[in-house]
């Protein structure tokens, strides 16, 4: 069936709107602040083959990797009407254990096979493991929490009680997990119903044809974007600070070969996987590559499976960009994904300098705080990523205090944080002057300081504390980040980028996030000796 351009555009927006509505339902019905305030989740639709056809504007590190989870669920389970699959295994399509993916088949009346699939992924703020928040300084995946291959959470519309109870038994905050998990199920129900409504109005053949046409369209746009770039091999190398347990710096290298409307993205030469948790699995590297290639295109390429058809990804097994079990991976999803993006953009700066910005903060600056709240008489586990500075681009400065690249979450409002947890926000502001100098300056990072009102375990997974976000076209580096422990008397002691520690009631944790790199040479300042050069 041929689809005319107007109908194709309408179908693209209708499918995208279904994914967006799923996100609205998940955000409004979620229980934990991480879901209802930070919106640390993603929603998408897949066709009957399990190929991505539409996604909401949610979290890039989730969305590019979710197709592998959907296909893992399809391969391992026979999904019937009313079923919902659940998984988080990083070695079966997942990313890291806190990211729990649910997949629901969408059947039409009389259909024997699923017409499509709805899926969502949400970061659960505790899923067991050696420390609250499940983001510990681990050295193997077994320390990071409950690991689930694809299993049925719902069967024929009824809960599989054993799986629910197993899940709840492996978290310190059952009520949050129960509320968030049920919100995910509700969002899938809305997505399934909205797609059936679309099929009822347009017809199954038209919707199926539109899904295929949208993937073909994304393929053509991506080939056209690559075809406008001068053929060649574009290389770059960047560094992770360390893995938190003695290895560092850790190199990530890439060679991007472009020609004939195609690209080969080859990470050969990247460091071997490490003991610490900054290992990324293949799904994360695929997700980062998907994101960067979408950014490279000048047009608004539909975010679906077709975008990656012209791109071949080579990520050698056993490296930090394709780690093998039983590697620890909690930080690979949040930190290494950012550095993969950095190194890809750095390589592409040689191919399309007019489209590439300087490095952004390069770290999600992950903070997890957990313990027992004696006032509210309950355990608590709080997780957040803290924004930094965006890199400056040709023609414009970088934004300050913003989540960039593989994260797209919101700020946790101070009022919500203090109302729900035994913590007080003692300082929260822009880190003025942390952006790199340049013709266009990099954005500034943030200062965020939290006081624990109860004894708490704190986990930090941060980077760009040793290496700095790079500038482009002569622009300066962004400031490195820094982490501090602040005693009750105000004395500060500097902390590593990746660490676990115990804070007494009244102590504070202070995070200073990196700024973005500058773009272009900065004008000489009055009295600057360099002005005569």
Q: Does residue 37 carry a pLDDT above 50?
A: yes
Mean pLDDT, residues 413-430:
96
527 band by pLDDT with thresholds 50, 70 and 90 = low
Residues 72, 119 contacting (CB under 8 angstroms): no
Nearest 5°: the CA angle 17, 20, 23 is: 155
Terminal Cα distance for the chain, rounded? 65
Residue-level pLDDT at 526: 61
How much of the chain, in percent, has pLDDT values that exceed 70? Answer: 98
DSSP 79: -
Query: Could you tell me the sign of the dihedral formed by the alpha carbons of 183, 188, 191, 197, in that order?
Result: negative
529 band by pLDDT with thresholds 50, 70 and 90 = very low
Name the residue ranges covered by the structural domains of the chain: 5-218, 357-533
Q: Does residue 528 carry a pLDDT above 70?
A: no
Residues 358, 517 contacting (CB under 8 angstroms): yes
Residue-level pLDDT at 57: 79
pLDDT digits (tens, 9 = 90+) for 290-349: 999 999 987 889 999 999 999 999 999 999 999 999 999 999 999 999 999 999 999 999
Mean pLDDT, residues 218-244:
97
Say whether the peptide bond before residue 379 is cis (omega within 30 degrees of 0): no
Q: Does residue 530 carry a pLDDT above 70?
A: no
Residue-level pLDDT at 533: 27
Say whether the peptide bond before residue 84 is cis (omega within 30 degrees of 0): no
How far apart, in whole angstroms, are the C-alpha atoms of residue 126 and residue 380? 9
Who's near 52: CB < 8 A, 6+ residues apart? 44, 45, 46, 63, 66, 67, 70, 303, 304, 305
> What does the mean pLDDT of the chain come to?
95
How much of the chain, in percent, has pLDDT values that exceed 90? Answer: 92
Tell me the pairing of strands 366-373 and 116-123: unpaired
Mean pLDDT, residues 140-144:
97
**Least confident segment among 2-11, 82-91, 216-225, 510-519:** 2-11
**Alpha helices in 77-173, H assignment, sequence order:** 161-169
Mean pLDDT, residues 426-437:
98
Residue that the structure tokens 């296909």 belong to: 71
Residue that the structure tokens 């560094």 belong to: 239
pLDDT digits (tens, 9 = 90+) for 460-513: 999 999 999 999 999 999 999 999 999 999 999 999 999 999 999 999 999 999
Cα distances (angstroms) measured from residue 265 to each of 8, 13, 255, 258, 304: 30, 30, 6, 9, 19
Residue-level pLDDT at 64: 80
Mean pLDDT, residues 352-375:
96
Residues 326, 142 contacting (CB under 8 angstroms): yes
Residue-level pLDDT at 59: 85
pLDDT digits (tens, 9 = 90+) for 366-421: 999 999 999 999 999 999 999 999 999 999 999 999 999 999 898 899 999 999 99
Residues 32, 182 contacting (CB under 8 angstroms): no
**3 state DSSP class of 522:** coil
Residues 417, 426 contacting (CB under 8 angstroms): no
């Amino acid at each position: 069936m041929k689809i005319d351009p107007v109908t194709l555009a309408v179908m693209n927006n209708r499918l995208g709107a279904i994914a967006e509505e799923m996100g609205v339902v998940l955000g409004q019905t979620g229980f934990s602040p991480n879901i209802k305030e930070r919106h640390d989740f993603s929603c998408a639709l897949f066709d009957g083959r399990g190929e991505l056809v539409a996604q909401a504007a949610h979290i890039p590190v989730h969305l590019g990797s979710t197709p592998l989870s959907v296909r893992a669920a399809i391969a391992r389970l026979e999904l019937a009407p009313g079923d919902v699959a659940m998984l988080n295994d990083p070695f079966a399509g997942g990313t890291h254990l806190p990211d729990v993916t649910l997949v629901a088949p969408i059947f039409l009346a009389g259909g024997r096979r699923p017409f499509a699939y709805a899926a969502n992924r949400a970061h659960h703020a505790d899923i067991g493991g050696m420390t609250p928040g499940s983001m510990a300084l681990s050295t193997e995946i077994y320390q990071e929490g409950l690991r689930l291959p694809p299993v049925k959470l719902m069967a024929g519309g009824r809960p599989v009680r054993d799986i629910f109870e197993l899940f709840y038994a492996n978290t310190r905050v059952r009520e949050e997990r129960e509320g968030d998990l049920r919100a995910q199920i509700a969002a899938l129900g809305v997505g399934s119903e909205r797609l059936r409504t679309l099929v009822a109005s347009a017809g199954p053949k038209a919707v199926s044809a539109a899904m295929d046409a949208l993937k073909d369209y994304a393929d053509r746009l991506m080939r056209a974007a690559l075809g406008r770039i001068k053929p060649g091999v574009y290389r770059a190398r960047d560094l992770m600070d360390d893995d938190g347990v003695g290895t560092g710096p850790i190199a990530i290298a890439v060679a991007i070969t472009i020609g004939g409307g195609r690209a080969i993205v080859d990470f050969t030469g990247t460091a071997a996987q490490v003991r610490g948790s900054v290992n990324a699995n293949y799904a994360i590297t695929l997700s980062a590559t998907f994101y960067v290639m979408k950014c490279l295109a000048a047009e608004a390429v539909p975010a679906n499976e077709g975008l990656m058809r012209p791109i071949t990804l080579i990520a050698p097994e056993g490296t930090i960009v394709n780690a093998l079990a039983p590697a620890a991976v909690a930080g690979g999803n949040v930190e290494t994904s950012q550095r993969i993006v950095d190194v890809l953009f750095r390589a592409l700066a040689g191919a399309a300098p007019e489209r590439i910005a300087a490095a952004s903060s390069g770290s999600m600056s992950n903070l997890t705080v957990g313990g027992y709240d004696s006032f509210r008489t309950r355990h608590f586990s709080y997780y957040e990523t803290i924004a930094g500075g965006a890199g400056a681009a040709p023609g414009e400065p970088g934004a300050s205090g913003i989540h960039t690249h593989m994260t797209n979450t919101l700020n946790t409002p101070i009022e919500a944080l203090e109302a729900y947890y035994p913590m007080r926000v003692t300082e929260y502001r822009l880190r003025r002057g942390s952006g790199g100098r340049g013709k266009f300056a990099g954005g500034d990072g943030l200062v965020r300081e939290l006081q624990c009102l109860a004894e708490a375990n704190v986990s930090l997974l941060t980077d760009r504390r040793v290496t700095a976000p790079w500038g482009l076209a002569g622009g300066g580096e962004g400031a490195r980040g820094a982490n501090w422990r602040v005693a009750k008397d105000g004395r500060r002691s500097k902390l590593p980028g990746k660490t676990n520690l115990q804070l007494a009631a009244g102590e504070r944790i202070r995070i200073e996030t990196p700024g973005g790199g500058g773009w272009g040479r900065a004008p000489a300042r009055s009295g600057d000796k360099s002005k005569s050069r």
